[in-house]
Structure formats: C-alpha cells, structure tokens
Amino acid sequence: MNSIRPASSFPAPGDVTAHTSPRTPAVTTKLPKVGTTIFTVMSALAQEHDAVNLGQGFPDFGCDPKLVDCLTAAMQAGHNQYPPMAGVPALREAIADKIERLYGRRYDPTQEITVTAGATQAILTAILAVVRPGDEVIVLEPCYDSYVPNIELAGGKAVFVPLGRSGEPGDFRPDFDRIAAAIGPRTRAIIVNTPHNPSATVWSAADMRRLAELLAPTDVLLIADEVYEHMVYDGRAHESVARHPLLAARAFIVSSFGKTYHVTGWKVGYVAAPATLMHEFRKVHQFNVFTVHTPTQHALAQYMADPRPYMDLPAFYQRKRDLFRTGLASTRFRLLPSEGSYFQCVDYSAISDMDEVSFCRWLTTEIGVAAIPLSVFYEAGREQRVVRFCYAKKDETLQLALQRLARL
C-alpha cells in the first residue's frame, strides 16, 4: 500500500487553514523529577516573611575591592574578546602554580587545566565527557543537587551510597564497605565532594588512601568536587585528590573562584586532570560553553599573584563558624561537626517532631530564619531531623539570626 500523500493533499504555500493554528509541540522531558529547587522556595519564603536567609550558600558581603579593580583594569586594557578555549594562559599558569604549591602535584597548564563557567558547568562537562548510556556513576548521599541530573542527561544511572558508618543522624563519614559493594562492571565514575556540602564533613588522608585502594584495580574514574578546598578548620589540611598520585591519575579535580573569592556571581571555576582525560573534557567544553568571560580571567590571574586571600580563608571562615556555633549552643539544637565548607548542620529533634521541610517552613515563617532541610539532598528523601544553615554572612546577619534562634 502506497503511504505517500499526493502533492495535492499538502497545503499550498501561504495557505492558512483551521488546521494550521499555532501549536507548541509536546516535549518529553529529560529530567522528569526536576522541579523548582528548595533553595528557590525557601529564599522566596524568607523574602516574603522578612526572615534572615541562612539557606542559600553564598555570602551577603562583598569581595576584596582589589579584585574589582583588577577586573576594571582588564576591561580598560582591552581584554574583551574571545580568549583561548581552554582559558587565558596566565590564569592556567597561576592555577598550576597554586596546586603545586599547596598539594605538590604539577599540572601542565597547556594540556591539563581548563577554566570553566563555574564548578557546576565543570562537573556537567566532565560527566558528559566520560559517561555513556548505561554507565553507572556512584553518588554519595547527601549530595549537591546537580550531580544526578547531570548523570541522567548523559544517559547514565546514578548508584546511591549513603554516607555514614554508624547509621546515626549526623554521621557523614564515607562507608568504604558500601562503596566497594556498589562498584560493578558498569561503574564508570564516582563523585566525591570534600569539604562536603551539605554536611561540612572533611575527608581525611586515610579516607583518600582507602578510596585509592578500592579504585586501583578498576577503570573507575573520579570526579572530585573540591570547591570548598580553602575552608578547612582547626588546623587540618585539605586532602585534595591532587595530593594522592593513585587518585590524581584518574581524576577530574574541580574548584571554584566564586567560593574562594566571595564572587559566586562571576561563575568562574576550573578543572585539573591528566592530559588524556582533559582532551576529552575539552571536546565537550568547547561546544557547551566554548570559553569563559575574558576580563574576569585576566583579573583572577593578576589577583592570584598574592596567595594570602586564599591562604587566610580558613581563619576568616573559622571565626564566623565559631561565632555562629557559640550562639547556637544556647538553643536546643544539637550541633553537628562543621569541619569545612561554610555550612552548619543541626539536629532539631529536641525542638520538634515535624518533618524537615515542614520544620524549615515553620522556622522561616514563625522564627524568622531560613534553613535548608537535609532530606532534599537525598534522591528518595531521608528524614533525620537535620537542617543546614549557611554562615557565609556578615557578622550582623549572623547575630540577628542568633537573636531570633535564641527563642528556641
């Protein structure tokens, strides 16, 4: 049977009929579980109720004026056209110098470092570069909310392993027995985040060595989210994957200038990886971003000549952490450790038996302080009566929040 329609059955050019009214074709979503994030919801609720917003993870204070001066100077100097796809050479050189100074590994700035449009783009690009349909990626929960959608966009499957060895609320140490059990023939990569968002847990050197032992006999790649690398407290060192040769050889290491220099809106980060991995990364990078804002790259390269801003960051945020924790100590919250990042998690079970989302709504509307429920960082949700505060705020912001929380 001939299924070809005769030419006379097609409308003539310019012939508008009732059958050609405007119509938007239906689209089958690639991310059916993604909706409005809790961060947007809680920020809107905080604004509506004039609450102190300790939910979203960004500072409410400005960056160093010198950095803005560097940016202005870069624009005035004419650095306003496309830079090289992988990033301004001076900035890649500065990144390589910093990694070598801090962690003892030298990355080739021409082949092994790429400047990205923030860490989120870096993680997506790494996943798209190496994950193929049917591949599995191990995700340690609770986790940052972009990981799983990134894996799904690549056609991969997230395999969830909960953090915590004891099973008790507030324990977020890696359970290597569970991680080992999750590694299978389809495992393509594992994502590790330290210092950890949301729990503020920091992996130790022993943790890194144990991970290296697990991965050594496999071809599993590592995506290391280290955006809070300069926020590790109480005299501890950040155990970058770059410190550990067995891990560095198979890893994409991601960091963020936005987090380090209090300019989250600039959306500039970077990735360091062995040349063979970076070759694949750049294939994707050139087509999903191509390159990153030119004058900002020149400004960061100039600013990085002085290491003090990132070397002083642990003391800067530890003081804020201690101020906030001292104030919370007089409430009925149970303080969980805050070893790194700029987050403080608390157990509210002595205050309420509400679920975490409901408690955060109540805290925002009735007490006037916004927080984020930890349950949203789990794919299937997990109620522990734990919420997360962000203390990357002005002292007066933290003091106002503490005055309100003192009612608890």
Which candidate, 233, 232, 402, places its Cα nearest to that of 333? 402
- Does 367 share its domain with 385? yes
Q: Is the pLDDT of residue 10 over 70?
A: no
Q: How many residues does the chain have?
A: 408
Tally of structural domains, the chain: 2
- Does 394 share its domain with 270? no
Q: Mean per-residue pLDDT for 104-114? A: 98
317-332: per-residue pLDDT in tens?
A: 999 999 999 999 999 9
Query: Distance (Å, rounded) from C-alpha 20 to C-alpha 147?
Result: 41
**What angle in degrees, to the nearest 10, is found between the helix axes of 313-328 and 395-405?**
20
Report the mean per-residue pLDDT for the chain. Answer: 95
Q: Indicate the residue among 260, 289, 306 that finishes a domain.
A: 306
Give the residue numbers spanning the domain of 129. Answer: 65-306
Pair 308, 107: CB distance under 8 Å: no
The pLDDT value given to residue 28: 93
- Give the predicted TM-score (pTM) of the model: 0.93
- Residue 161, sorted as left (phi over 0), alpha (psi -120 to 50) or beta, turns out to be beta
Q: Mean per-residue pLDDT for 371-389? A: 95
Displacement of CA 337 from its chain's centroid (Å): 20
Backbone dihedral angles phi then psi of residue 270, each to the nearest 5 degrees: -160, 165
Q: Is the pLDDT of residue 1 over 50?
A: no
Q: Mean per-residue pLDDT for 329-347? A: 97
* Four-point Cα dihedral 94, 97, 99, 104, nearest 10: 180
Pair 405, 398: CB distance under 8 Å: no
- Does 325 share its domain with 202? no
DSSP reduced 3-state for 272: strand
Q: Is the pLDDT of residue 36 over 60?
A: yes
Please report which helix (H) or strand (E) contains residue 270, including its range: strand 269-272
Query: Distance (Å, rounded) from C-alpha 261 to C-alpha 10?
Result: 61
Q: Mean per-residue pLDDT for 27-38? A: 89
Pair 201, 339: CB distance under 8 Å: yes
CATH number at residue 299: 3.40.640.10
Q: How confident is residue 15, by pLDDT bands cut at 50, 70 and 90?
A: low
CATH number at residue 346: 3.90.1150.10
Q: Which residues pair with 225 in a beta bridge?
A: 193, 254
Q: How confident is residue 14, by pLDDT bands cut at 50, 70 and 90?
A: low
What are the residues whose beta carbons fall under 8 Å from the beta carbon of 380, sequence distance 6 or more? Answer: 160
Q: Mean per-residue pLDDT for 39-56? A: 93
Pair 260, 67: CB distance under 8 Å: no
Write out the two tokens for 354. Answer: 């509400």
232-281: per-residue pLDDT in tens?
A: 999 999 999 999 999 999 999 999 999 999 999 999 999 999 999 999 99
- Does 88 share its domain with 124? yes
- Does 355 share its domain with 236? no
- Does 301 share its domain with 165? yes
- Does 294 share its domain with 326? no
The pLDDT value given to residue 7: 52
The pLDDT value given to residue 300: 98
The strand pair at 343-347 and 369-370 is best described as: unpaired
